[in-house]
Structure 1
Amino acid sequence: MLSIKKKSILALAVAASFSTQVVAAPTNTQDEEPMEVVVVNADFNNINIEQMPSSVTVIGEQQIQDEGAEHFQDVLNSIANFNWSGGSSRPRYFQIRGVGEQEQYQGAPNSSVGFVVDDIDLSGLGMVSSMYDMQQVEVLRGPQGTQYGANALAGLIYLKSNDPTDTFEHGAKVSLGDDDLTTFSGFSSGPLTDSGKLLYRVSVEKHDQNGFMTNDYLGRDDTNKRDELSAKAKIRWYMSDDLQADLTLLHANFDNGYDVWTLDNNGTNSLTDVPGVDTQKTTGVGLKLTYSGFKTAELTSLTSFANTDHRQMYDGDWANPDYWADKECTEYDDDWNPIGTSPCHYDYTWDKAAKRKTLTQELRLTSTQDGRIFNGSTDWLVGVYAMNLKEDNDLYSEYNGDPDEVLQSEYEASNYAAFVQLDSQLGDGYLLSTGLRFERRVSEYSDTNNDNFSPSENMWGGHIALSKVINADHNAYIRVARGYKAGGFNMTLPVEFADKKEFSAETLYNYEIGLKSMWLNGDVATNIALFYMDRRDQQVSASLQDPDDQQRFILFTENASSSDNYGAELDAKWYANDNIEVYGSLGLLNATYGDYVYQDKNGNPVDLTGRELAHSPKATYSLGVTYFADSGWFANVNASGKSDFYYSDSNDSQSEPYTIINARIGYETDTWSAYLWGRNLADKQYGTRGFYFGNEPDQDWADKQYIRYGDPRQLGVTFDYKFM
């Protein structure tokens, strides 16, 4: 770990990590060390970024290590105006500024938040995101219409792992904790040849724990287990002075349980007889070729392929036959008149398996200094992009021993895009950035329910931004961006919902102003952004329980007329002295519907006009303090939280506000370190997903709120050893 004293001379790098703007670093006469610059790898101009006017959070390797983060789940709460839906064993569905998905129960994936790992597109599959050997986490807020297109309507999550090194370095780490947690990790990096032209890096992590749930019916404490393997290999080949090849191989196998729902919302003891599963096996490969032999431009080719098998199954009655047999249920005649009571018989399971393959190819030309146009004032970038996504789904649900829903589906979508960006120096510290992207999407869907769709559409997005270097310490910007998300279709709808078979594309206009600053001679860095988002033809996911068949849910997406989101974000870091660092974030959000009325399960109109969107807390916040003594002792305390938010657009059930406190204390040397750590030290019970429907036949299927909770308190110890 870098000492805080050493890190204090990198204060402008902190600003760069917040704003992604690289500035010339003044010489530090006291320490005489060059300024390290942090760039955003998600941006296509990351080699020579001078200005990127946008709200961006970068969580670097140092913060990841200081907080002892093992999974993306451990860092996401420190990101302003960012939320996630706990409908899976690990976070898979995300919301940025109130825009995103809460779940996906059927086929035809269509993400609002992009998720990219080392240039491999895993949008909608963010569950397999270990933080081991990770260089940094980048979250770009707002539509990324120019560079990423349809999968980044709300923004983009980009995970960048460490690259191969030209000298040998190796490491091993082990963590032990309650809940039977064991994590074993290791990495190795260095040259493969004496010439240093071929480098490698390999990292592996195996994580296991029981999952904080005791199944009283089966007498087990591992029905909600986490059994997770993550591996990655990188090869860098300097093929010539002008050509560099970077090959990335990743493999993740998450064989997790999914036993999280209880009828009494206790969150710790389940009664299911068929514990659920939530598995994802992903193998990906990415090849990046960079050719710099042209005088006026650099050519980059990005090829990626990802193959994923994932399955989610759960016990829908959330109990067992013995439990229900002890309950009395009302019997009805054919006309639904009550005729008496008898012991309940209720047994329901839901199971979906899917296979997804994603192939992407991108080519782009980026101007060099000699290639600038308009009298050398303007950098340019042009590119083309193609993606092919295939997903086959096999859905099966069973009610009281009989098949309830059986559906096999095939889906394929192809996207083709061309984009251009210009960054023009206007003089007097002004920089104008403009970008435009045209995208064509063609898709085809068919299933065993005889639903067949083949929609296609043309979409466009882009941005225009003006930034101004006020002085060496302050940079202001204003930005307007247009993002888009493809339209789609709803499968397996009953006849009475025929008018909802298809829904339109969504468009989002984002207006933003920001200020990125250094204060107190570089000891304090801040990034402030104010934004307004105008969503047009907003896509809304709805869920209705059939009043005549309580096991049947009608799921569909439709367009609301509009939605208005506005708010603010603040990231800040303060080097209080040579040994203490304070950092934090604050997000304020008001995300509400425009005109939107839907019908509930009884056919009654429900007007959501002016109501807050689901999973859109008005406030998100985090605060952390790191202390590093000259003697090697280390401590970190951090807290993060959210205000209350609605769980769904289909009902008014809400979460409770919460704050989570974590801590880490230990001793560090140049080669080894040992820590004691604790997560959720106050053992706060907090909801991450909620449903409101009838699931108890002995209560005549009365609607009730059911909550899935986040992880309770956990304590552990970590030992880390690194050597050359």
Structure 2
Amino acid sequence: MKNNKYSVLSAAIATALSFPAFAADSSEERQPMETLMVTADFRATEIDKVPASISVIGKQQLEDDGGENFQDILNAIPNINWSGGSSRARYFQIRGVGDQEEYEGAPNSSVGFFVDDIDLSGLGMASNLFDIDQVEVLRGPQSTLFGGNALAGAIYLKSAEPTAATEAGVEVSVGTDDLLTIGAYAGGSMNADDTLLGRISVQSHQQNGFMDNQYLGRDDTNARDEVSAKAKLRWYATDKLQADLTLIHGDFDNGYDAWSLDSNGENTYTDRPGKDTQTTNGAGLSLSWEAHKAFNVETITSFADTEQRHAYDGDWSNPEYWAGFECPIYDDNWNHIGDAPCVYDYWWDKTAERQNFSQDVRLLSTEDGRLFNGTTDWLVGLYYNRLSEDNSRYIEDRYADELPRKRKLYSDYSADKVSAFGQLDTYIGNFHYSLGVRVESWSADYFSDGTDSEKLGEDFSESHSHDETLWGGHISVSYALDADQQIYAKISRGYKAGGFNTDVDTKTYPELSQYLAYDPETLYNYEIGHSASLLDGDLTTRVAAFFMDRDDQQVDASIQEGEGSESPGDFILYTANATSSTNYGLEASASYYLTQNLEFYGSVGLLKATYDSYIIEVKEDVFLDLSGRELAHAPSYNYQLGATWRGDTGFFANMNLSGMDSFYYSDSNDFVSDDYHLLNLRLGYEADNWSVYLWGRNLTDEEYGVRGFFFGNEPNKDWADQQYVRYGDPRQLGITFRYDYF
């Protein structure tokens, strides 16, 4: 880790938490800030009243920052990170807990990801920010709300709601890297009595992807070609029944040519550039019915169908490149018998089709239905979810003068969850007590069959089944210091189902038989916090300290197969259980209007996430002791500092600086990233119904890693382990024009 990281961190904390020091007496009339509501909870609640560590980024800040995709605003959220093994952010970590990849076809997310109640966990590519009203990130176990796939927390994107007023608009951005983004929206009342409202939005985003393929002479092999659409209908069927229908569509036809042997972040040399595509169609239907004076009935039905393809050129180069080197040749007993021009070719290609259906039914008390002399709100509910995924994986590789080896694997996976949950919220004086529990029955089945040309066309198959009953919940107490401040304490228990490893070949590697299955994980989270809205709403602050105790922690692990020229590009990927780990830290955010024209805002996350005791086998008879070491993708800090100025004549400026500490890329090695700091700037002019902005992201052109590997991938170096890094987006400049009709 960097020795000077704490000086940067100290400055970030001091600035983020000392905005009131900039305040001065002023006679200017100030407009109070918009009150943000948390909508991901069972009941919509003002953010200052939520007894939990949560970040809500509202529509105005999203527009001011100008991010196109959720990954563009990650550093604005304390203690969140992502794993950059795909063309867009897909796998997230909250407080050091989360997933880094999913190659095997048995998804089991630790971080929930939702767009308008449609569950897209593990499919974070569908996260563009156009026509999004707000982004909510709930940190810590959310088992009462979401069950087993929110062990670390949940990310909730809420798109703009339809209104009775007629609205329409268009936004166009052009920029470097051949960027062209076009978005449009329209909405309003669809009948005379305003009982049927609608809204639709569509966006197309295209850019070359910042990489130059020197071998093919192309600059678009890593391109992003993304189309997103949303439609929402709201029907006031009666005075007591409201129906909301949401439809989403995403078509992401992205390239994946992001890795290079020289890891310079600019050039690639592949002869077969990869692909990273995702087509998602989803629907969600929410019904809210005032069924009785004592309770309301709410139902949420959602379905998402997704087709994915993830493919890459695993040798990261081309035949001519390898032929320029001499490589050792071995006999069947691994005796060195000579040298010859290198031959190395590797192609990995997986397609998957996933369906995710869920049904949630809840009864929520009204004011007349409160218990215990009108002090206690209650809710009970039932939930069913079925996730199924069909996979087809193809690997073709060739080493030395051998014939290409071809392997095909087809798999079917399905998991069913049935759960019951309930929550009590008691209000006595200035105290609010909350108790929630969820019990879940989980079962999963897996079947696969395939062929391997190296083994004379040998067919193989395997099947697994697993089921268990899990539970989680929370208990919290909060106290209102006054009308604008509260403190709280919370204990929550999260869980994540166990399962089976589908990529463990026990015939070839009998020592891995212990990893055929892995146990469920539990996480206890202890948290205290304070929130406030002060100075007539001009200043808002949130701070939370937490301690997390993980038991039977599930850890992504891998072993590189083969020696010498025997399938060095192949890995056995599996999930294992570490004994335990401990995560603790702090999250803080603040926003302050110095004047009615100038706002400062900032956030910081501090994290210490370490294994208690864990030894992992990284190669045959080679072990790595991770006891006391930090978890992968768990930086010690991340932060954002920003300011927005709006002049009385329409001129606008926004500047923000964000950064992240170094972190381990993997649990299979000690390879560490560099810390980084990104500067964004947005200048513009805003009229009544149109605006124009000049902007720059990563203005200092910082080179920062988002994913790293450490393994042998170069035959000319006798497959010696090397460090390889995939970098985040470099500097980009552009201009955006927006027109709104209302």
Q: Which residue of 2 aligns with 1:635?
A: 653
Q: Which residue of 1 aligns with 2:173?
A: 175
What pairs up with 1:240-389 in 2 under 5 angstroms? 240-389=238-387
What pairs up with 1:510-659 in 2 under 5 angstroms? 510-548=525-563, 549=566, 550-659=568-677
Alignment length (residue pairs): 696
The letter for the 2-side match of 1:445 is Y
Query: Are residue 499 (structure 1) and residue 517 (structure 2) matched?
Result: no
Structure 2 residue aligned with 1:456, among 445, 458, 467? 467
Q: Which residue of 1 aligns with 2:452?
A: none
Q: What TM-score comes out, normalization by structure 1 length?
A: 0.94
The letter for the 2-side match of 1:551 is G
Instruction: Give yes or no for contact 1:547–1:601 (8 Å, CA) kept in 2.
Output: no
Instruction: Give yes or no for contact 1:115–1:122 (8 Å, CA) kept in 2.
Output: yes
Deviation by residue 1:341-381 (Cα, 9 ceiling, x = unmatched): 11000000100000000000000011111110000000011
Measure how far apart 1:34 and its partner are.
9.2
Deviation by residue 1:550-577 (Cα, 9 ceiling, x = unmatched): 1221111011110100000001111111
Measure how far apart 1:195 and its partner are.
1.1
What secondary structure, in the 3-state scheme, does the structure 2 residue paired with 1:394 have? strand
Q: Which runs of 5+ in 1 are unaligned?
A: 1-17, 19-28
What secondary structure, in the 3-state scheme, does the structure 2 residue paired with 1:324 have? helix
Measure how far apart 1:338 and its partner are.
1.5
The letter for the 2-side match of 1:360 is S
Q: For 1:459 and 1:205, locate their aligned partners in 2 and report how far apart those are by CA, in whole Å.
A: 41
What secondary structure, in the 3-state scheme, does the structure 1 residue paired with 2:322 have? helix
Q: For 2:145 and 2:331, locate their aligned partners in 1 and report how far apart those are by CA, in whole Å.
A: 60
Q: Which residue of 1 aligns with 2:443?
A: 442
Structure 1 residue aligned with 2:210, among 204, 209, 212? 212
What pairs up with 1:384-423 in 2 under 5 angstroms? 384-400=382-398, 402-423=404-425
What pairs up with 1:51-90 in 2 under 5 angstroms? 51-90=49-88
Instruction: Give yes or no for contact 1:84–1:688 (8 Å, CA) kept in 2.
Output: yes
**After the TM superposition, which of the residue ranges 444-453 and 416-425 deviates more from structure 2?**
444-453
The letter for the 1-side match of 2:298 is T
Q: Which residue of 2 aligns with 1:9?
A: none
Evaluate the alpha carbon distance shift between residue 72 and residue 48 of structure 1 in structure 2; reply closer, same or farther with a 3 A threshold. closer
What secondary structure, in the 3-state scheme, does the structure 2 residue paired with 1:445 have? strand
What secondary structure, in the 3-state scheme, does the structure 2 residue paired with 1:630 have? coil
The letter for the 2-side match of 1:417 is S
The letter for the 2-side match of 1:483 is G
Q: For 1:600 and 1:224, locate their aligned partners in 2 and report how far apart those are by CA, in whole Å.
A: 31
Instruction: Give yes or no for contact 2:36–2:47 (8 Å, CA) kept in 1.
Output: no
Measure how far apart 1:647 and its partner are.
0.1
Q: For 2:313 and 2:32, locate their aligned partners in 1 and report how far apart those are by CA, in whole Å.
A: 58
Q: For 1:553 and 1:75, locate their aligned partners in 2 and report how far apart those are by CA, in whole Å.
A: 33
Deviation by residue 1:485-533 (Cα, 9 ceiling, x = unmatched): 0001011312221111000000000000001123445432110000000
Q: For 1:586 and 1:68, locate their aligned partners in 2 and report how far apart those are by CA, in whole Å.
A: 20
Measure how far apart 1:451 and its partner are.
1.7
Structure 1 residue aligned with 2:501, among 443, 467, 490? 490
Deviation by residue 1:44-73 (Cα, 9 ceiling, x = unmatched): 111688842100000100011001111111
What secondary structure, in the 3-state scheme, does the structure 2 residue paired with 1:366 have? strand
Structure 1 residue aligned with 2:693, among 654, 675, 699? 675
Measure how far apart 1:292 and its partner are.
1.4
The letter for the 2-side match of 1:562 is S
Instruction: Give yes or no for contact 2:48–2:533 (8 Å, CA) kept in 1.
Output: no
Instruction: Give yes or no for contact 1:78–1:585 (8 Å, CA) kept in 2.
Output: yes
The letter for the 1-side match of 2:304 is A
Measure how far apart 1:121 and its partner are.
0.4
**After the TM superposition, which of the residue ranges 404-413 and 372-381 deviates more from structure 2?**
404-413
The letter for the 2-side match of 1:652 is D
Q: For 2:735 and 2:383, locate their aligned partners in 1 and report how far apart those are by CA, in whole Å.
A: 46
What secondary structure, in the 3-state scheme, does the structure 2 residue paired with 1:157 have? strand
What pairs up with 1:54-203 in 2 under 5 angstroms? 54-203=52-201
What secondary structure, in the 3-state scheme, does the structure 1 residue paired with 2:184 have? strand
Q: Which residue of 1 aligns with 2:235?
A: 237
The letter for the 1-side match of 2:171 is K
The letter for the 1-side match of 2:246 is T
Q: CA RMSD in A?
A: 1.6
Instruction: Give yes or no for contact 1:451–1:492 (8 Å, CA) kept in 2.
Output: no
The letter for the 2-side match of 1:487 is G
What secondary structure, in the 3-state scheme, does the structure 2 residue paired with 1:454 have? strand
Q: What TM-score comes out, normalization by structure 2 length?
A: 0.92
Measure how far apart 1:582 and its partner are.
0.6
Evaluate the alpha carbon distance shift between residue 453 and residue 566 of structure 1 in structure 2; reply closer, same or farther with a 3 A threshold. same
Q: For 1:325 and 1:604, locate their aligned partners in 2 and report how far apart those are by CA, in whole Å.
A: 32
Measure how far apart 1:405 and its partner are.
3.2
Structure 2 residue aligned with 1:685, among 703, 707, 711? 703
The letter for the 1-side match of 2:161 is D
Measure how far apart 1:32 and its partner are.
11
Q: Which residue of 1 aligns with 2:454?
A: none
Measure how far apart 1:604 and its partner are.
2.3
What secondary structure, in the 3-state scheme, does the structure 1 residue paired with 2:145 have? coil
Runs of 4 or more consecutive aligned structure 1 residues displaced over 6 Å after TM superposition: 29-35, 47-50
Q: Which residue of 2 aligns with 1:8?
A: none
Q: For 2:513 and 2:124, locate their aligned partners in 1 and report how far apart those are by CA, in whole Å.
A: 33
What secondary structure, in the 3-state scheme, does the structure 2 residue paired with 1:106 have? coil
What secondary structure, in the 3-state scheme, does the structure 2 residue paired with 1:240 have? coil
Measure how far apart 1:35 and its partner are.
7.9
The letter for the 2-side match of 1:462 is G
Q: For 2:28 and 2:723, locate their aligned partners in 1 and report how far apart those are by CA, in whole Å.
A: 60
Q: For 1:515 and 1:163, locate their aligned partners in 2 and report how far apart those are by CA, in whole Å.
A: 30
What secondary structure, in the 3-state scheme, does the structure 1 residue paired with 2:523 have? strand
**After the TM superposition, which of the residue ranges 691-700 and 405-414 deviates more from structure 2?**
405-414
Evaluate the alpha carbon distance shift between residue 173 and residue 435 of structure 1 in structure 2; reply closer, same or farther with a 3 A threshold. same
Deviation by residue 1:609-632 (Cα, 9 ceiling, x = unmatched): 000000000011111110100010
**After the TM superposition, which of the residue ranges 333-342 and 643-652 deviates more from structure 2?**
333-342
**After the TM superposition, which of the residue ranges 442-451 and 534-543 deviates more from structure 2?**
442-451
**After the TM superposition, which of the residue ranges 358-367 and 46-55 deviates more from structure 2?**
46-55
What secondary structure, in the 3-state scheme, does the structure 1 residue paired with 2:716 have? helix
Evaluate the alpha carbon distance shift between residue 698 and residue 33 of structure 1 in structure 2; reply closer, same or farther with a 3 A threshold. closer
Measure how far apart 1:467 and its partner are.
0.3
The letter for the 2-side match of 1:416 is V
Deviation by residue 1:58-111 (Cα, 9 ceiling, x = unmatched): 010001100111111111121100000000000000000000011111111000
What pairs up with 1:694-705 in 2 under 5 angstroms? 694-705=712-723
Measure how far apart 1:236 and its partner are.
0.6
Q: For 1:552 and 1:36, locate their aligned partners in 2 and report how far apart those are by CA, in whole Å.
A: 53
Evaluate the alpha carbon distance shift between residue 634 and residue 144 of structure 1 in structure 2; reply closer, same or farther with a 3 A threshold. same
Q: For 1:196 and 1:616, locate their aligned partners in 2 and report how far apart those are by CA, in whole Å.
A: 49
Q: For 2:554 and 2:32, locate their aligned partners in 1 and report how far apart those are by CA, in whole Å.
A: 49
What secondary structure, in the 3-state scheme, does the structure 1 residue paired with 2:293 have? coil
Evaluate the alpha carbon distance shift between residue 545 and residue 499 of structure 1 in structure 2; reply closer, same or farther with a 3 A threshold. same
The letter for the 1-side match of 2:697 is R
